Amino acid sequence: MENTIVGMTHGRQDRKAAALAAPFVFGPALVVGAVTGVLAGPAVGAVAFVVVVAALAGWVYWGADRLVRASLVGSGVAFRDADPQVDARLYNMAEGLATTIGVRCPKLAVLESDGLNAMVSGARRGRELVVVTSGLLRDLNVVELEAVLAEVLYRLRRGEVAAETALVATFGLGRSYLLGAGRDTRLDSEAVRITRYPPALASALEKMEAKGSAVPGQGARSAHLWVADPLAGSDAGRWRMSLSARREALQEL
C-alpha cells in the first residue's frame, strides 16, 4: 500500500514539474528555432530547437537540486547530514511521520543557524531532502517539532515538491502558478490534520516569529521551500502570509 501511495505521489510530482518547466523550456526553444530556421533553413532550425529544449530541460532537471544544495553548503555556516545517534529525536520523529503520511522518509540534514526554520526540496526522485535548522531543534519542544515536520513531510505527500524545487531553476517563471494566495494557511491546516493538535503548530510559528526564521545564504527564489520566510523583509514575503496571520487561522480550526 505504501509503495502504491509513493508511486502516485511521484507521478503527480513529475506531471506538475513538467507543467511548470514547459514555458521555461519551450518558449526560448521556439524563438531560437524560429530565428535559426529563417537564417539557416528549417532543418537547422529544428536542430536548434531540439538542442535548446534538451539544454534547458537538463538545467531544470539536474540543476534545481544542485542550486538548492549550493545555497545550503555555501551559506557560510555549517551544513551537515543528520546523524541517527546525535539527531535521534529528529530521525525517529521523521520516520514515524513519514510512515503515517505515506511517503518514504527523505534524507535529513541540519543547518547550523539560530533562525527557526525547516524546508523540503527534491526535483528528482530519490533526491528529496528535509533540512532543519539547529535553532529549530534546540528551541521547539516535542509536539512543536512534530507539527513542523508534519507540514514539511506532507508537502511530499501533496506531490508538489518537485515542481516547487524546479521553480528555483526557472528564475521565478511559474511562481504564480504554484504560490497562490492562501498557500501557507492551506499547508498549515493540512499539517494539523496529521497531528490533530493545531495549538502545537501555532506555538511553533509563534516561536519562529519571536526568535526569527532567517536562514543564512538563502535567496528569494528558494524562499518558498521553507516553512517560514527565510528572508526577513525580502520581496519573497509578498508570496507568504505573516506568521501571526497563520497563527490566527490555526486558532479557527
Instruction: For residue 144, tell me if it sits in a domain.
Output: yes
pTM of the model as a whole: 0.86
**How far apart are alpha carbons 171 and 28 in whole angstroms?**
14
CATH code, 187: 3.30.2010.10
Query: Look-up: residue for cell 537538463?
Result: 58
The mean pLDDT of the chain is 87
Q: Is the pLDDT of residue 19 over 60?
A: yes
- Which tens digit of pLDDT belongs to each residue from 198-222? 999 999 999 999 999 999 988 888 8
Torsion of CA 137, 116, 69, 3, to 10 degrees: 60
CA 213 – CA 155 distance, rounded (Å): 19
Which of 25-39, 62-76, 166-180, 237-251 shows the lowest per-residue confidence on average (mean pLDDT)?
166-180
Tens of pLDDT, residues 160-189: 899 899 989 887 777 777 777 788 999 999
What distance in Å separates the CA atoms of residue 100 and residue 241, rounded to the nearest whole number?
28
Pair 198, 250: CB distance under 8 Å? yes
How far is residue 125 from each of residues 201, 202, 220, measured CA to CA in Å? 28, 32, 24
Which band of pLDDT confidence, cut at 50, 70 and 90, is reported for residue 16?
Answer: low
44 falls within a domain: no
Residues in the chain: 253
Q: CA 187 to CA 189: how far, in whole Å?
A: 6
Looking at the DSSP bridge assignments, the partners of residue 121 are 129
Q: How far apart are CA 225 and CA 155, in angstroms?
A: 10
Residue 154 lies in a domain: yes
Q: Which residue has the higher pLDDT, 8 or 115?
A: 115
Q: Is 239 part of any domain?
A: yes
- Residue 82 DSSP symbol: -
Q: Please, how many CA atoms are within 13 Å of residue 95, restricted to the half-sphere of its CB?
A: 8
- Residue 6 clears pLDDT 80, i.e. is over it: no
Closest CA to 72 of 108, 24, 104: 108
In a domain, 238, yes or no: yes
| 103 in a structural domain | yes
* Higher pLDDT among residues 33 and 107, named by residue: 107
Task: Please tell me the total count of domains within the chain.
Answer: 1
Lowest mean pLDDT among 4-8, 23-27, 215-219: 4-8
155 lies in some domain: yes
- Mean pLDDT on 144-164: 93
| Number of Cβ within a 10 Å radius of residue 131 | 26
Q: Which helix (H) or strand (E) holds 190?
A: helix 183-195
The pLDDT, as a whole number, for residue 1 is 44
pLDDT of residue 110 exceeding 80: yes
**Residue 120: which H helix or E strand, with range?**
strand 118-121
Task: Tell me the residue range of the domain where 187 lies.
Answer: 72-251
**What is the biggest distance separating any 2 CA atoms in the chain, rounded to whole angstroms?**
66
Report whether pLDDT(246) > 60. yes
What is the average pLDDT across 61-66? 88
What is the C-alpha separation between 149 and 44, in angstroms, rounded?
51
Is residue 6 a part of any domain in this protein? no
